[in-house]
Structure 1
Amino acid sequence: MRLLLLSPASTAAQRAGRFPADDPLDARGLAEVKADATRLRAALSGDAAAFVSPATCARDTASALGLAATVDAALADINYGNWQGRRLADLAIEAPQELAAWTLDPDAAPPGGESFSQLVTRMGQWLDALGTPDETGGGTTNGKTSAASSRAHTVVAVTHAPLLRAAIVHATGASPTVFPRIEITPLSMVELRHSQRGWTWRPASL
């Protein structure tokens, strides 16, 4: 199985240094998708099963690329808790120690939110279920994922930068502490392959 993980185009909130709050793509974000559409579509298989985060920016990105993607709640962005929609600059003043810990410690979480270590567990469960064949040859993440992935050797998932980082950590067996050193920009693509050895990370075929 070949899995392509694609991060959404940028949002106005992201460019303003805010934590996501289910923001849609604005004109600039849609222009980014249009500018990269040829490159991205060339990497995608025509018969790929496609899945997408419930977030509006992810669904907008998938739609702009012409992907008929199934929404999968397991691909939702990391839970930012009480920091959702807040500016990083404001939190750096109001809660500097908590923010610093969150940027460096995989076990630190925003108030009411999810830590990166927890996200690695969530993403790892999704990946392992996707790579586990059932009687139809598909993955077992859920009924929709199983049925769709059984029809295609390539799977595409439009999800968020933290989940792409988590997927790399899970596939390589690395410590979650490496997450600050994995840079994922808007419209980045990560390619994973599943075989008898499990998941492996390889350069995306662009």
Structure 2
Amino acid sequence: MKAIRLTLVCHALTQAQKTGCMPQADDSILALAQPPLAIGPAVQVLTAPERRACETAAWLSAQARVEPALADCDLGHWQGLSLKQLQVEQAQSLCEWLGDPHSALHGGESFAQLCQRVAAWLAAFDTPGEWLAVTHPMVIRAVLVQLLGCPLGAHQRIDVLPLSRLELSFAGQWRLRLGA
């Protein structure tokens, strides 16, 4: 069995992140002065379908392939709303959503559903080699929770900054790779 090395990269900073708004599929990244990281020619690149992920992936490779399973958590009718607005207009719903990973009061996908989607993708991912996947903070949190077997609520304690990376390997089971 040949090993799989998978690096998840969070998309670059967006205006929505900068201003504390919930993401939308067409959010664009803010200008990058240089590519976020160098990758080797043998690395295969996947990207979530949202614009911000595709734009980040384009900095890394002209050959990035869209992978629907890497899509951001669907936030339903909360997409594009600011956290301040939600705190004022839907404080109880926001509090419940933040405290209950099974909640989808926004009419979209719950964190628990996102975890199931990501777990199914990881279980089916079996192509050996070096991979890089550009995705979103919630997806990276879901991967960590699944990989480490944490309670779903632990995702609220994980900060995923723009362009941060999570390295994984697979040789019979998925493992977190820490490095210098």
TM-score (norm 2): 0.91
Match in the other structure for 1:20:
23
Uncovered stretches (5+) of structure 2, i.e. residues with no partner:
none
Q: Give yes or no for the alignment of 1:113 onto 2:108.
A: yes
* 1:44-97 residue CA offsets vs partner (Å, 9 max, x unmatched): 342112110111111111112235210111111100001001111001001101
**Distance of 2:68 and 2:74 partners within structure 1:** 12
Which of 138, 156, 172 aligns to 2:148? It is 172
CA drift of 1:175 comes to 1.6
What is the root-mean-square deviation of aligned Cα atoms in Å? 1.5
Q: Which residue of structure 2 aligns with residue 199 of structure 1? A: 174
- Where do 1:60-79 residues align within 5 Å? 60-79=55-74
Match among 157, 160, 163 for residue 136 of structure 2: 160
Whether the 8 Å contact between 2:17 and 2:23 is mirrored in structure 1 is yes
Q: CA separation of 1:130/1:188 partners in 2, compared to 1, >3 Å: closer, same or farther?
A: same
Compute the displacement of 1:155 (Å): 1.0
Q: Residue 120 of structure 1: CA displacement?
A: 0.6
Identical aligned residues as a percent: 38
Contact 1:4–1:156 (8 Å) recurs in 2 = yes
TM-score normalised to the size of structure 1?
Answer: 0.80
- Of residues 103-112 and 70-79 in structure 1, the stretch that sits farther from structure 2 once superposed is 103-112
Q: Which runs of 5+ in 1 are unaligned?
A: 132-137, 139-149
Kindly provide the CA deviation profile for residues 130-150 of structure 1, in whole angstroms up to 9, marking residues without a partner as x: 03xxxxxx3xxxxxxxxxxx5
Runs of 4 or more, structure 1, over 3 Å off, are none
Secondary structure of 2:143's aligned partner: helix
Distance between the aligned counterparts of 2:107 and 2:98, measured in 1? 16
CA distance in 2 between partners of 1:100 and 1:79 (Å): 18
Residue by residue over 1:129-180, the C-alpha shift from the partner in whole angstroms, topping out at 9 and shown as x without a partner, is 003xxxxxx3xxxxxxxxxxx5xx1111000010001111111122212111
**Alpha-carbon separation, structure 2, partners of 1:158 and 1:67:** 13
- Counterpart-to-counterpart distance in 1, 2:60 and 2:90: 39
If each structure's helix is expressed as a fraction of its own residues, which one has the higher value? 1
Count how many residue pairs are aligned between Structure 1 and Structure 2: 176
